[in-house]
Chain A
Amino acid sequence: EAGVVQSPRYKIIEKKQPVAFWCNPISGHNTLYWYRQNLGQGPELLIRYENEEAVDDSQLPKDRFSAERLKGVDSTLKIQPAELGDSAVYLCASSLVRSSYNEQFFGPGTRLTVL
């Protein structure tokens, strides 16, 4: 079974530039998550999708961040414009919600460096 796929793996941009990340979840997983992981810290949820619907985006900085999950499969996360503090690893995860419990499978992440 293929795991969660993310691209690019690394991205270096100058501040104020836009950047986009792409995620393809495990086939059949209806729930997709975007996390941000700062150096030395645990992942922090940015947004959670159930199928096409964003059901939790309370931690997404909406002034500069946007996300979409058209057709309920793959997803993109965009930052425009990027700031120095956005440097982090952006992790995508997916799960198949069966009950109250579900294992989240993580992608390899995109390491963003904003100069």
Chain B
Amino acid sequence: GENVEQHPSTLSVQEGDSAVIKCTYSDSASNYFPWYKQELGKRPQLIIDIRSNVGEKKDQRIAVTLNKTAKHFSLHITETQPEDSAVYFCAAAAGNKLTFGGGTRVLVKP
């Protein structure tokens, strides 16, 4: 089955700096890569996703890149703000089955 590795597990950045989270996956059949943000005690919420036919996607301060050859995808958050503090999960989907990474706890220091 699919295996998704996510790094780093924790990330502390100064407000205004950029944050980068990296994931790798194992199943070459995976073709959909969403990113979820989960605040403490709340539900995971989709913040951005990318399909396998696209190499990069941007939405305001967040962007995701995908390298299908290397089976890597990354989340980039620019101009970080305190409200960006949360746990972020990457995931890879083959068909309708999502496999999640272990999560990255991001702390944005004012």
Q: Which A residues have a C-beta under 8 Å from some C-beta of B?
A: 4, 31, 33, 40-45, 48, 50, 56, 91, 95, 97, 100-109
Q: Do B43 and A108 touch (CB < 8 A)?
A: yes
A14 → B minimal CB distance (Å): 24
By a CB distance below 8 angstroms, the chain B residues around A101 are 31-32, 49, 51, 93
By a CB distance below 8 angstroms, the chain B residues around A43 are 44, 89, 100
Q: How far is the CA of A42 from the CA of B104 in the complex (A)?
A: 10
Q: How far is the CA of A105 from the CA of B45 in the complex (A)?
A: 7
By a CB distance below 8 angstroms, the chain B residues around A41 are 102-103
By a CB distance below 8 angstroms, the chain A residues around B42 are 108
Q: Which residue of A lies closest to B99 (CB)?
A: A45
Q: Do A104 and B43 touch (CB < 8 A)?
A: no
By a CB distance below 8 angstroms, the chain B residues around A4 are 43
Q: Do A103 and B96 touch (CB < 8 A)?
A: no
Q: Do A42 and B103 touch (CB < 8 A)?
A: yes
Q: Do B103 and A48 touch (CB < 8 A)?
A: no
Q: How far is the CA of A43 from the CA of B46 in the complex (A)?
A: 14
- Asked if B97 is at the interface (CB within 8 A of a chain A CB), the reply is yes
12 contacts between A and B (CB under 8 A): A4-B43, A41-B103, A42-B100, A43-B44, A43-B100, A45-B98, A50-B96, A100-B32, A103-B34, A104-B34, A104-B98, A108-B43
